[in-house]
Chains A and B, each alone.
Chain A
Amino acid sequence: MMRILEGGTSTTVQDLGRFGQYHIGMPPSGAMDQFSHRVANALVGNDEDAAALEMTYQGSTIEFTEDAVIALTGAEMPVELDGEPVPMYSAVRVEAGQTLDAEFATEGARTYLAVAGGIDVPEVMGSRSTYTLVGIGGLEGRTLQEGDELPVGDGGADAEAVLGNSVAEERVAGVAPEEGVRVIVGLFDYRLTDESRAELTDAEWTVTPEADRVGYRLEGPELDFVEREQPFGAGTDPSNVVDVGYPIGSIQLPQQPIVVMRDAVTGGGYATVGTVISTDRDVLAQRRTHETVSFEAVTLEEAVEARTARNERLEAIVESLDP
């Protein structure tokens, strides 16, 4: 059992996501940085879809009531176990009665804490991921707070087998902040003026303090839509279209851009002018408030290539570890 002594800024239980429900308006939730989440599970010998903790900005303080093996990945966050620093990207032994204390992330936004056996909260619609907006999954559908108790699943890997596991930093190096976050432009980019369409990928956008699991609200130049008579069924604002499904990662422009993330509404009437590719949503999820992001337009083929390369990189890491 993991007993929460301090919840942190926003810590939730997440697995890879709740799939197959998008058509009824249920977003996938799941780890915002899927790559880091998978590496954390691999380090402790879990299946890739085991539930782990996603700790945002300030991590949690957790007392372990039984022996455990844990691993930390993602955002750099100083973490101590009974006062001793815990290395990231390594399987680490925790003894019953020890307390893990996570501080504020120093780089990146989200740190993953996996525990051998996974966090054994009940599945809701096939997933343990927390979806706080409607209060399902995870622990009572909410962020963790003082006094919470999380059961750890049985059948975790043999501690002796996984305790030597670690991943070298260069193997997990993400996309540097100065590189663009790749987007596929469309479907409604034609609604933008030529100037604004260019600006979408030329401008530097700043992550606002509201950016969260639902959406990354950005700040930058004002983009303009082409004047038109709104079609029947569309709202009166030039940013409105007749309702459509929103791909995860799509960029909508109610005024300033919002990149729709894993807890977002699944459809609506805002023109989506581009979609951040899946590989780079992991990158965006680690961008902190007030940091900047720029978009780089790629083709669908380039996006698929990026995903293949990412999966191969991940596969190589998983294969280098003991299960």
Chain B
Amino acid sequence: MATESVTAPMPGVFYRRPDPEEPPFVEVGDEVTEGEKVGLVGVMKNFHDINAPTDGTIAAINFENEEAVEAGDEVIEIETA
């Protein structure tokens, strides 16, 4: 078992959902595939997709929805098989 982190590429606001009315992209325990969208970082009203770097299982989500993130922050951890 190894863990890979999904990092925020730029400073901004971390979003766990595509829209306030929609369910979160992922929850802890969810299976994800490489390239799958797992969150958003918003800055200047632009939203940047955060994608899973690898296949695996969501092990941890380290930030709340709409929490401030810095570039390089490890927002999500994925356990690889």
Q: Are B48 and A209 in contact (CB under 8 A)?
A: no
B11 at the A/B interface (Cβ < 8 Å)?
yes
Q: Which of A197-211 contact B (CB under 8 A)?
A: 209-211
Chain A-chain B contacts (Cβ-Cβ < 8 Å), number? 40
* Chain B residues within an 8 Å CB radius of A10: 44, 46
Given contacts A9-B44, A10-B44, whether A105 and B10 have CB atoms under 8 Å apart is: yes
Q: Are B10 and A212 in contact (CB under 8 A)?
A: no
Q: Interface code A281-300, partner B: CB below 8 Å = 1, 0 otherwise?
A: 00000001111000000000
Q: Are B45 and A210 in contact (CB under 8 A)?
A: yes
Q: B44's contact among A104, A105, A209, by CB below 8 Å, is which?
A: A209
Q: Are A212 and B68 in contact (CB under 8 A)?
A: no
A61 at the A/B interface (Cβ < 8 Å)?
no
* Chain A residues within an 8 Å CB radius of B43: 9, 57, 209, 289
Complex: A313 Cα to B12 Cα, angstroms: 33
B9 at the A/B interface (Cβ < 8 Å)?
yes
Q: Are A209 and B71 in contact (CB under 8 A)?
A: no
B4 to chain A minimum Cβ distance, whole angstroms, is 19
Q: B9's contact among A58, A209, A290, by CB below 8 Å, is which?
A: A58
- B interface, size bucket: 10 to 19
Given contacts A290-B11, A290-B70, whether A9 and B45 have CB atoms under 8 Å apart is: no
Q: Are A212 and B45 in contact (CB under 8 A)?
A: yes
A56 at the A/B interface (Cβ < 8 Å)?
yes
Most chain A C-beta atoms within 10 Å of own C-beta, residue among B13, B43, B45, B46: B43
B53 at the A/B interface (Cβ < 8 Å)?
no
B42 at the A/B interface (Cβ < 8 Å)?
yes
A106 at the A/B interface (Cβ < 8 Å)?
yes
A58 to chain B minimum Cβ distance, whole angstroms, is 6
Q: Are B44 and A211 in contact (CB under 8 A)?
A: yes
Q: Are B68 and A290 in contact (CB under 8 A)?
A: yes
Q: Interface code A270-289, partner B: CB below 8 Å = 1, 0 otherwise?
A: 00000000000000000011
Most chain B C-beta atoms within 10 Å of own C-beta, residue among A10, A209, A210: A209
Complex: A56 Cα to B46 Cα, angstroms: 11
Q: Are B71 and A106 in contact (CB under 8 A)?
A: yes
Q: Which of A56-99 contact B (CB under 8 A)?
A: 56-58
B79 to chain A minimum Cβ distance, whole angstroms, is 26
Complex: A290 Cα to B44 Cα, angstroms: 12
Complex: A58 Cα to B11 Cα, angstroms: 11
* Chain B residues within an 8 Å CB radius of A212: 44-45
With CB as the reference atom, state the residue of chain A lying closest to B8.
A104
* Chain B residues within an 8 Å CB radius of A211: 44
Q: Are A9 and B10 in contact (CB under 8 A)?
A: yes
A216 to chain B minimum Cβ distance, whole angstroms, is 11
Most chain B C-beta atoms within 10 Å of own C-beta, residue among A57, A105, A210: A57
* Chain A residues within an 8 Å CB radius of B68: 209, 290
With CB as the reference atom, state the residue of chain B lying closest to A288.
B11
* Chain A residues within an 8 Å CB radius of B45: 210, 212
Q: Are B12 and A104 in contact (CB under 8 A)?
A: no
6 contacts between A and B (CB under 8 A): A58-B9, A209-B12, A289-B10, A289-B11, A290-B68, A291-B11
Contacts from B to A (Cβ < 8 Å): 9-13, 42-46, 48, 68, 70-71
Question: Known contacts A9-B10, A57-B44, A290-B70; can you find 4 more A-B pairs with CB under 8 A?
Answer: A10-B46, A106-B71, A209-B44, A290-B68
Q: Which 9 pairs of residues, A with B, have the shortest CB-CB distance?
A: A212-B44, A289-B11, A104-B9, A57-B10, A290-B11, A209-B12, A209-B43, A209-B13, A9-B46
